[in-house]
Amino acid sequence: MYVIGKREFISLFKGIKSIIIVVMLLVTSYYSAKFSNLFSSGIELTAREAENIHTAGLLILILLFGQLFITSLSHDSINRETHERTIRFLVTRTSRTSIIIGKFFGIWLFWFICLTTSFLLTSIFSQKIDVFIFSQTMSLLTYQIALTILLSVLISKPGFTMFLGIVLAVVFPIFGFWAAYTSNGWVSWTKFVTPYYYLIREDYSFLVIVLLAGILLVIANLIFKRREC
């Protein structure tokens, strides 16, 4: 599990797409924090919003494009191994559960470092790091990583997971926020199984997002155990 996670983690830093995404996160963090006072001067904000305006650009970027970023880098984390037949070597060395967990933590650690670096960058201007907002954001990324792994287990063709991941990355945030705010009884119940409902709350209910991510991983593991290599 450790070796698989380490390999996944290192491989994420080697690709050009990874470098571009990391640069986008850092540039967005820097400039949104640098010009946050300018933006806030023309907008009426609550005390809480004004206090955390430095992270606004980064949070918007992750809310809108986080799933797209994760999908573009890790959509084939599992089905690539199956497609290239390397999965047969892995299952002789370790369990399938260890493969799923190792892949997950390798990807999770990559995004944890990216998010931590971005928040440290904004702290230069804000003089603090809001642990609550950091934890909320990391919980969303955790859910999105688990969802990406589940898709990679469900779909055997890497090219199709990339296409479906892009569609999902566009539609899911729109639907998630709509479900969180709509009063439509046919749709509003779905807010409880999407992460966005828990993100808009000012309490620790975002921990439910981590629980949902765990459920996605359990489902992915059960399916993976029953799949032929």
> Do 94 and 57 meet the contact criterion of CB atoms below 8 Å apart?
no
φ and ψ at 100, to 5 degrees?
A: -60, -50
pLDDT of residue 126: 67
The whole-angstrom separation of Cα 118 and Cα 22 is 9
Burial class (CB in 10 A: 0-12, 13-18, 19+), 112: middle
Residue 44 CA to chain centroid, in angstroms? 30
pLDDT band at 47 (very low <50, low <70, confident <90, very high): very low
pLDDT tens per residue across span 149-169: 999 998 888 888 888 888 888
pLDDT tens per residue across span 103-151: 999 999 999 999 998 888 887 776 777 788 889 999 999 999 999 999 9
Q: Mean pLDDT throughout 36-55?
A: 53
Q: Mean pLDDT throughout 5-16?
A: 82
pLDDT of residue 50: 46
Residue 172 pLDDT greater than 90, yes or no? no
Helices (H), the chain: 2-12, 16-34, 36-41, 47-51, 56-74, 79-83, 87-93, 96-126, 131-154, 158-181, 185-188, 196-199, 207-225
Looking at the chain, the whole-number percentage of residues with pLDDT higher than 70 is 88
38 vs 184: which has the higher pLDDT: 184
The whole-angstrom separation of Cα 180 and Cα 51 is 24
- 159, two tokens: 């090219």
- 177, two tokens: 């926020």
The whole-angstrom separation of Cα 31 and Cα 203 is 28
Q: Mean pLDDT throughout 65-71?
A: 90
Q: What integer best gives the mean pLDDT of the chain? A: 82
pTM of the model: 0.89
- 183, two tokens: 């009063």
